[in-house]
């Protein structure tokens, strides 16, 4: 269920459709899809640490 939700989210980015596919609320669908990790990584990657160097994190599954 978690893997399905995560893969569905990565392919569609449609939270409402994900919730419908899982038969849950959007809030519960967010938990199944493990979206927090992606958001954190994306946020850190957007931070400008140094003028000449950009730190890029990559997600390891």
Q: Determine, yes or no, domain membership for 57.
A: no
Predicted confidence (pLDDT) per residue in 7-23, tens digit: 888 888 898 999 999 99
36 with 44: CB under 8 angstroms? Answer: no
Q: Determine, yes or no, domain membership for 56.
A: no
pTM, entire model: 0.55
Give me the torsion for CA of 45, 29, 4, 8, rounded to 10°. -60
pLDDT over 90, % of the chain: 16
Q: Determine, yes or no, domain membership for 11.
A: yes
- Looking at the structure of the chain, the number of domains it has is 1
Give mean pLDDT, residues 38-60.
67
Q: Determine, yes or no, domain membership for 7.
A: yes
């Amino acid at each position: 269920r978690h893997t399905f939700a995560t893969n569905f989210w990565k392919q569609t980015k449609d939270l409402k459709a994900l919730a419908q596919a899982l038969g849950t609320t959007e809030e519960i669908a967010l938990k199944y899809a493990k979206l927090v990790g992606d958001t954190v990584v994306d946020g850190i990657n957007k931070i400008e640490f140094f003028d000449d160097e950009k730190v890029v994190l990559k997600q390891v599954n």
